Structure 1
Amino acid sequence: MGITMWINSLGISQILPMNKLNHFQTQTRPMAAYNPRIEHVTNGSLASDKLISSNNNGSPLVIVPPPVTVPSTLGHYLARRLVEIGVSDIFSVPGDSNLVLFDYFVAEKGLNLVGCCNELNAGYAADGYARNRGVGACAVTFTVGSLSLISAIAGAYSEDLPVICIVGGPNSNDYGSKKILHHTIGLPDFSQELRCFQNVTCYQAVIDNLEDAQWQIDKAICKCLEESKPVYISICCNLVAIPHPSFSAKPLIPLSLSPKQSNQMGLEMAVEKAADLLNTAIKPVMIGGKKLRPAKAEAAFLELANTCGYAVAVTPSAKGMFPENHPHFIGTYWGTVSTAFCGETVEIADASIFVGATLDELETDFLRALGKRLKPNLRAYENYRRIYIAESGPPESEAGEELRVNVLFKHIQKMLSSNMTVIAETGDSWYEIQLLYASIGWSLGATLGYAQSAPQKRLVLCIGDGSFQMAPQDVSTMLKLGQNNIIFLINNGGYTIEVEIHDGPYNIINNWDYTAFVEAVNNHQGNCWTTKVHTEEELVRAIEIAMEDRNDCLCFTEVIVHRDDTSKELLEFGSRIAAMGSHPPKLLKN
């Protein structure tokens, strides 16, 4: 797709894809003097107040007066902007200060208001949605709703995900009135919510008047897209339905997205120095990080890998951002819990390219330019192949033997295809997704959002029983939406990841009947299939049913495993976290 610089009639510059140009061209044309539109009338009578004339052949004409433009409202404008940037679903929880705004969301063609069971899950869903769609949105009510949401927004911030957090705020007349309002913490200063969000969003807009509302909405959306971080928009509830001329542009005035460009001289110097270093290395490697995604640099990273031939690894949070069937892919690098032989290959390398720690659009230029200067070098990959021993997989289970976690993942691996996406929770099923913030329970809401953004894919969720108990309610939302996700709940009787860090009675949770829970929230209304498995034979049959007989519905499998059944990687991870937390305090100097 081609890219061009576009200057609209307001002097705002932006980068537009070629397929958007026709949509925006009218914005650059000068407004001509009004010429009445003339319509031929062939049937029916004419109203007496219309001016009638005849053309040369005698057929009647009607001169139609110019249409009267009714200014659009704030709610309509925000809804149109969300659709324009690619948001087709808003994850929401209603409250008294956002109900009128929700009416506009419901009325907007191309926009679907998804009601969630709680604000935390709405935020998790927007997080999952943004991972696939490139931007997500959630909407809640003032303070009591938004403070329930804030942990999910913090997680999105840590993952560089563009999420638009919309809050229905108090009446504009209440600001400065010293009133104590419900849904607040009892202070007349309503900025407490704003202050909470300042540390977990890159931009905050409080819309308490109409004069600059359009500018504030556009500014927030632009910041969200440019910085790939969440933004906060609070809208006073009494302004939503009021028209204003600034909301009426059709088509919408193009967003003023600031294109970033590399300094050519600095780029050339950096490429030259890096190429000199890497071309003299004997066994260099490449490691991709999670910021490949917000920088949209996956393609440039792959191009560089193809050019230089280096061995390529990814960090856990970048899993899925580089094709694992690539001939030079060696696995996941994560220190002592790396994929077998991947850690050794990375750590004996004499030159390493870590891409993604602080990556932005400028480094994408660097990767492409660097690829043109590097000499092919297969030495590190050849070293990896020499020491690599293919995993034999877990030993075969005996008939009726208790199911093991490694056997579960062996069969999940076999069932995966290119039209499936895996969402994995903190714990033994952990890879990618939310590594830094690591909020237990995040994955269920994220699965809801991701599935809504990618209806052509089938989602596979691996979640522990402890994580499931954190936020289980929105299985009902999945059912309401008709999603056909496959959920594997690993029931080992507690917070296993916490057990491996520091064991204690507080890590044991009350055991639920999880399949009965899912059936209860379904209440015979949705399309759902549940089962409970204890052995490998039962698991194989459950997967066959989910993939073939019940591929059109949500399939929930509770997998019963032993409390102490964990991978060696999780054991190592737990011991390292425990060691970090047990460091004695440094002595203060006098």
Structure 2
Amino acid sequence: MNAIAGAYSEDLPVICIVGGPNSNDYGANNRILHHSIGLADFSQELKCFQQITCQQVVVNNLDNAQEQIDGAIAAALEHSKPVYISISCNLPGLSHPSFLRNPLPFSLPVRLSNTVELELAVETAAEFLNKAVKPILLAGPKLRSAKATEAFHKLSNASGYSVAIMPTAKGLVLENHPRFIGTYWGTISTPYCNETVELADAYLIVGPVFNDYINVGHSLLLKEERAIIVQPHSVRIGKGPTFRFVEMKDFLVALAKRIKHNTTSHENYERMYMADDGGHPLIMRSSWSSGDEIMMKKEALRVNVVYGHLEKMLSSNTTMIADTGVSWFSCQKLKLPQGCGLGYAQAASPNNRVIACIGDGSFQMGAQEVSTMLRCGQNSIIFLINNGGYTIEEVIHEGSYNVSCEEELVEAMKMATEEKRECLCFIEVLVHKDDTSKELVEFCLRTSLFTSRAPTYIL
């Protein structure tokens, strides 16, 4: 359920198929089954999934199974949300006359913008942006579900604005874009990105989700009156009107033809930018050169050293996955090559090799999926970042996959990408529990202050 809830929040059309009770047990009031809560009512699981799926079907009769299953799949694709399909355990493998029927006709409904609302939204937004001195462009995660990334890139080229991303949009925007300035995340942004965004007099924000993590404890200094918020089906301009029934893709394409080219925000960014700082502090501190030979001390691994080497593994043929923890913050600093995104699943790009960075805590929730990877013959590389955060799991097991210094890390990476490139690889990276980024410290400070506010009582 945790995975399906995550898919629901991220607008992913996952089809969840589960085995249900024998079809003869439905309506048998006195039958209590194993793996149940001890009641003859079998709807508890379905009720749980009602909150995190857009449609639920229970198939306990083959007469209408085709319509039920096809309808659920269509709903998943139409709404870009998960669906739940329960199939009685005694039905698979049976034949039925309905299986000889032609598949149900299917086509995704095309969402069309209201032409009047679209024209008004584009005209108002263009006027708003064209009178601004130093506007910027900020990409959010809903670009993906709206299928508007290509339209966003066309707008970014036409506008001349500096382009930043929210942390949850990492991988959706080309990072080799000439005006890409990094991740906007309040006080823990890429260097000089925060100043460029918050000092802008207009922000065009496309597909955002502003929760307390993205807002860093609601500490962002964005001003509502300066913002144009573009969501998949609506546009809000400043504190003024909201234009509904306007599709994101249509709006971005039309706006690209109406705005003036303005590079002022990026010129200001380049004045602040220092190449030595660069917002890219992924360095191998424990490495030094002696002639043509690279020497590496056998000292404790540092997190920035790990990710410095990891960045070298990335290519257009890899997909990066990071959990919400130290890995999330460190991966924001990685410069992703074109075609290498922060993916949601192996299925997102089946031909890419997945590189996953998982904390020792998060791994406890998904460890069982490693067996599925083996069964499916996946060749993913899993880096378990173990900083001893869970005392009883400080070291899972002493073995050849443990790396505790840079030399061992380099050897393990070489083996994973050469000799074992067709295999599933598991590398446990041992780092000190206090080795973390300043961004994570700042983030935790601000979010803890927000979440620990004293209750306000109304007398």
TM-score range, shorter chain: 0.7 to 0.9
Indicate whether 1:386 and 2:256 are aligned: no
The 3 A distance-change label for structure 1 pair 542 and 243 is closer
Which letter does structure 2 place at the counterpart of 1:166? I
| Paired residue type of 1:377 | N
Q: Partner residue of 1:408? A: 306
CA distance in 1, matches of 2:119, 2:354: 43
Equivalent residue in structure 1 for 2:433, among 555, 563, 568: 563
1:198 to 22, 26, 50: 50
* Structure 1 residue 321 corresponds to structure 2 residue 179: no
Aligned to 1:259: 110
Q: C-alpha separation between the residues in 2 aligned to 1:350 and 1:456?
A: 43
Shift of 1:490: 1.6
Deviation at residue 280 of structure 1 after TM alignment: 0.7
The answer for unaligned runs of 5 or more in structure 1 is: 1-149, 434-445, 495-506, 517-529
Identity, % of aligned pairs?
A: 56
Distance 1:408 1:395, change over 3 A: closer
Give the Å deviation of 1:540. 2.6
- Which residue of structure 2 aligns with residue 182 of structure 1? 34
Residue in structure 2 matched with residue 298 of structure 1 by the alignment: 149
Bigger-Rg structure (1/2): 1
Q: Deviations over 1:156-191 (max 9, x none)?
A: 111111011112222333323213222211112222
- Verify the 8 A CA contact 2:184 2:194 in the aligned structure 1: yes
Counterpart of 2:327? 429
- Please report how far the alpha carbon of residue 310 of structure 1 lies from its aligned counterpart in structure 2 after TM superposition: 0.9
SS of equivalent to 2:328: coil
**1:288, CA displacement in angstroms?**
1.0
Q: Secondary structure at the match of 1:271?
A: helix
Amino acid in structure 2 at the alignment position of 1:509? I
Aligned position for 1:152 = 3
Specify which of 413, 424, 438 is matched with residue 543 of structure 1. 413
Which of 343, 346, 359 aligns to 2:232? It is 359
Shift of 1:260: 1.0
**Amino acid across the alignment from 2:72:** A
Distance 1:384 1:571 in 2: 25
CA-atom RMSD in angstroms: 2.4
Indicate the SS of the match to 2:345: helix
Conserved 8 A contact 2:67-2:104? no
**Cα contact 1:315–1:333 (8 A) shared by 2:** yes
Q: Give the deviation of 1:576 after TM superposition.
A: 1.9
| In 2, Cα distance between equivalents of 1:266 and 1:295 | 18
For 2:368, what is the secondary structure of its paired residue? coil
- In the other structure, the counterpart of 2:100 is 248
Counterpart in the other structure of 1:276 = 127
Q: Which runs of 5+ in 2 are unaligned?
A: 209-230, 234-245, 288-296, 332-341
Match of 1:485 in 2: 380
Q: Give the match for residue 226 of structure 1.
A: 78
**Contact 2:386/2:431 (8 A) holds in 1:** yes
Which TM-score applies when normalising by structure 1? 0.64
Is residue 288–residue 354 contact of structure 1 (8 Å, CA) maintained in 2? yes
**Offset, 1:426:** 2.0
1:437-474, Cα deviation, whole Å (9 max, x unpaired): xxxxxxxxx98x83356443221111122222333233
- Post-superposition CA distance 1:260-289 (Å, at most 9, x none): 111111111111111110111111111111
CA gap 1:395/1:581 in 2 versus in 1, 3 angstroms: same
Residues 1:283 and 1:193: Cα distance change in structure 2 (over 3 Å):
same
Alpha-carbon offset, residue 209 of structure 1:
3.2
Aligned to 1:552: 422
- Other structure's SS at 2:392 match: coil
User: Aligned AA for 2:156?
Assistant: A
Residue 341 in 1 paired to residue 192 in 2?
yes
Q: Secondary structure at the match of 2:401?
A: strand
Distance 2:153 2:145 in 1: 16
Compare 310-319 and 556-565 and name the one that shifted more. 556-565
Partner residue of 2:89? Answer: 237
- Helix, strand or coil at the partner of 1:407: helix
Per-residue Cα deviation, 1:86-107 (whole angstroms, up to 9, x for no partner): xxxxxxxxxxxxxxxxxxxxxx
Deviation at 1:290, TM superposition (A): 0.9
Kindly provide the amino acid, as one letter, of the partner of residue 476 in structure 1. Answer: S
Structure 1 letter corresponding to 2:410: V
**TM superposition shift of 1:339:** 1.2
TM-score between the two structures when normalised by the length of structure 2: 0.81
8 Å CA contact 2:182, 2:190 repeated in 1: yes
Residues 239 and 537 of structure 1, relative CA distance in 2, 3 Å threshold = closer
User: AA paired with 2:324?
Assistant: T
In 1, Cα distance between the equivalents of 2:176 and 2:105?
40
User: How far has the Cα of 1:253 moved from its partner?
Assistant: 3.1
Change (3 A) 1:210 1:458: closer
Q: Displacement of 1:330 after TM fit?
A: 0.7
Q: Which whole-Å CA distance do the structure 2 matches of 1:474 and 1:562 have between them?
A: 27
> For 2:13 and 2:165, how far apart are their aligned partners in 1?
22
The secondary structure found in structure 1 opposite 2:187 is helix
Give the aligned partner of residue 446 of structure 2: 576
Task: Name the amino acid aligned to 1:550.
Answer: K
Deviations 1:289-333 (CA, angstroms, capped at 9, x unpaired): 111111111111111111111111111111000111111111111
Partner amino acid, structure 1, of 2:434? D
- State whether structure 2 residue 379 is matched by structure 1 residue 509: no
How far the C-alpha of 1:511 sits from its partner, in A, is 2.4
Verify the 8 A CA contact 2:329 2:437 in the aligned structure 1: no
In the TM superposition, what is the alpha-carbon distance from 1:424 to its structure 2 partner? 0.8
Taking the aligned partners of 1:317 and 1:335, their CA distance within structure 2 comes to 14
Distance 1:265 1:560, change over 3 A: same
